[in-house]
Amino acid sequence: MSEKLELIPVQDIKAKKGMTVDELIRAMGRAGGFTAQKLADATDIAEAMVSKKDCLRILSFPACIMATGTRGVIVDLVKNHMVDLIITTCGTLDHDLSRTFAAYYKGDFMMDDAMLRDEYEISRLGNVLVPDECYGIVLEDELLPMFDEIFAETDSLPTHKIIDEVGARLDNEDSLLYQCHKNNVPIVVPGITDGSFGCQLWMYYQTHRKLRIDLFGDEQMLSEMTNEAEYTGAIIIGGGISKHHVIWWNQFRGGLDYCIYLTTAEEYDGSLSGARIREAVSWGKVKEDAKKMTVEGDATITLPIIYAGLCERLL
């Protein structure tokens, strides 16, 4: 027998002076307006996930958004205890550290890239400009002395402990590594050598040949955290290795209870990055009855809106 169809009327959005972000989100939810409806539903799921007692809240994202002001949203999610675990890519460490010690600048997608390289020694990340002096040079100057201290009494650490030790040596409220150390939120980077931070580890290895990165130590922690949690939920931005690491470890506990994808990728090519939540259900990585939503769109737009809604509802 088919379920009885519930007909809910579409309601017009009525913008008004002094309207809060949460009021706009709720209006989007009543509007039936394509991605607006999804964004409103995702905010409701995020609220339920953050509020759920004994729920392990996981945040996964690629490095690129850390080069933008959306870094501040991620930092505030940690500061306001809405995140228990982060899984990301190596560039997240690069951008967080570089911006802790120097500045990035606004640019444009259509700038002359040869001119940026030849005349200014600037790298372009979308419409963000990253001067060489703010990136690799800063990381080399700052990280290598830290590694001397961190590896003074051991030759092997998992990525989350190396990152935590670096965060412990910072003193900047705007830094993700600092806030994660301060709030006891582990950061796991499965592809640690795929970025400047990992390159600095490799350079350190040239004169410290006993150095080892204990990747199994990261996996053991992820296994224990997901299996011991009564409930698990995730906001997964983008795709790649960080996305898969979240859903992979949740597969062994029967799947995520809450799941939000924020993505611009398409699924027609069969890639993990473009795969929708319904595909993860087929693998047992997300529960069939999980509260779940895929929101198509740029996360530098969707994540700040969701977070602003959470702030108004929960803080």
Q: Which of 17, 161, 210, 285 is catalytic?
A: 285
CA distances in angstroms from 175 to 129, 172, 201, listed in the order given: 19, 6, 20
CA distances in angstroms from 270 to 255, 265, 274, 315, listed in the order given: 21, 11, 7, 40
Structure-token match 């996996």, residue found: 219
If you write DSSP's letter for every residue of the chain in order, what string do you get? -PPPPP----------TT--HHHHHHHHHHHT-THHHHHHHHHHHHHHHHHSTTEEEEEEE-GGGGGSTTHHHHHHHHHTT--SEEEE-HHHHHHHHHHHHS--EE--TTS-HHHHHHHH-EEEETTEEEEGGGTHHHHHHHHHHHHHHHTSS-SEE-HHHHHHHHHHT---TT-HHHHHHHTT--EE-TTTTSSHHHHHHHHHHTT-TT-EE-HHHHHHHHHHHHHH-SEEEEEEES-HHHHHHHHHHHHTTT-EEEEEEEE---STT--TTT--HHHHHHHTSEEEEEEEEEEES-HHHHHHHHHHHHHHHH-
C-alpha span between 171 and 167 (Å, rounded): 8
User: Is 243 one of the catalytic residues?
Assistant: no
Q: Catalytic site residues?
A: 285
